[in-house]
Amino acid sequence: MQKSAPALPKLDDYVAGIRAGDRATLARAITLVESTKPQHGALAQELLQALLPSKRRALRLGVTGVPGVGKSTTIDQFGMNLIEGGHRVAVLAVDPTSRRTGGSILGDKTRMSQLAQSPHAFIRPSPTSGTLGGVTRKTRETMALAEAAGFDVILVETVGVGQSEVAVADMVDFFLVLLLAGGGDDLQGIKKGIIEIADMIAINKADADNVERAERAATEYRAALQILTPQSATWSPPVLTISGLENKGLDQLWSKIVEHREKMTATGEFDMRRQRQAVEWMHDMLNDRIMASLRANPEVARRLPELEADVRAGRMVPTLAVDEIMKLMGIAPH
């Protein structure tokens, strides 16, 4: 006899556990919002709505950098510094998922050994499932849950490839770019689009015999930033040198983040950024729902493989295929 699936916890149990800061309940709630099952999705949205009035004002920080720049080591030490200062820290580590196999690494708890052992920290590796730039679709929901659970600093670590930086910058309050010096060309890491959205640049691994190279790189990055128009007249992105391994410069890094929040709050830009992000969240969810509705339509499901084959073979232009899908959905094409 086949066993039935265990019953889901009730909405009230989720709400009570999260408001109490229970990490096990938070982990189960995140699993719920990450689920693709329709019944889980409905409960997840009820949960998010129920928690909305109690959502705290956590500071959301995005951290990016190429593999090897020392993101995990820096976040581990930076997070411990914050905890010693009385904060509760959540780390949402966006994990690379293979588009071919669906596999992911999910090894963040071993890479952040100090935070993994702290009762005041929560680490959640989230597989990207091949979404744009390596950013999981559920990152916004996960941040909302972590905020409601009382974590007042939320760090979103990206894989540092593709368009993940842009996607994360659109959902956080402060975007930190970690870079390295001494790689032959100190400006090799500059991508104009990434530097334009950075709220701060930190040259990592400024330790041992690399200090001078790091300072030289910082000088060059400062010069490069001067020719770019900042996102805000209120804030010019600073360039610091740090060592996550030796815990150097991380206090200054935090003071700059706090300064940024104070300045942006005073001008109203902090709230405007949050409001814009909320509307973008709505638009993203709308797109997801429309695509889900499209795939669930039996007429579309029957015709879609044929249309894809025609487009692939060059027998039909994509715009005509889209028009036909719109008609099948009962929507008049433009």
Confidence of residue 182 (pLDDT cuts 50, 70, 90): low
Q: Identify the DSSP state of 185.
A: S
The pLDDT tens digits for 297-313 are: 899 989 999 999 999 99
Residue boundaries of the structural domains of the chain: 10-53, 55-266
User: What topology does CATH give the domain 55-266?
Assistant: Rossmann fold (3.40.50)
More confident residue, 130 or 36: 36
Confidence of residue 331 (pLDDT cuts 50, 70, 90): confident
Residues whose CB is less than 8 angstroms from the CB of residue 135 and which lie 6 or more positions away in sequence, other chains included: 94, 128, 158, 164, 167, 168
User: What topology does CATH give the domain 10-53?
Assistant: 1.20.5
* pTM metric for this prediction: 0.83
- What's the mean per-residue pLDDT of the chain? 84
The pLDDT tens digits for 244-275 are: 999 999 999 999 999 999 999 999 999 999 99
CA 140 to chain centre: 7
Residues whose CB is less than 8 angstroms from the CB of residue 220 and which lie 6 or more positions away in sequence, other chains included: 186, 187
pLDDT at residue 38 tops 60: yes
Cα Rg, the chain, nearest whole Å: 22
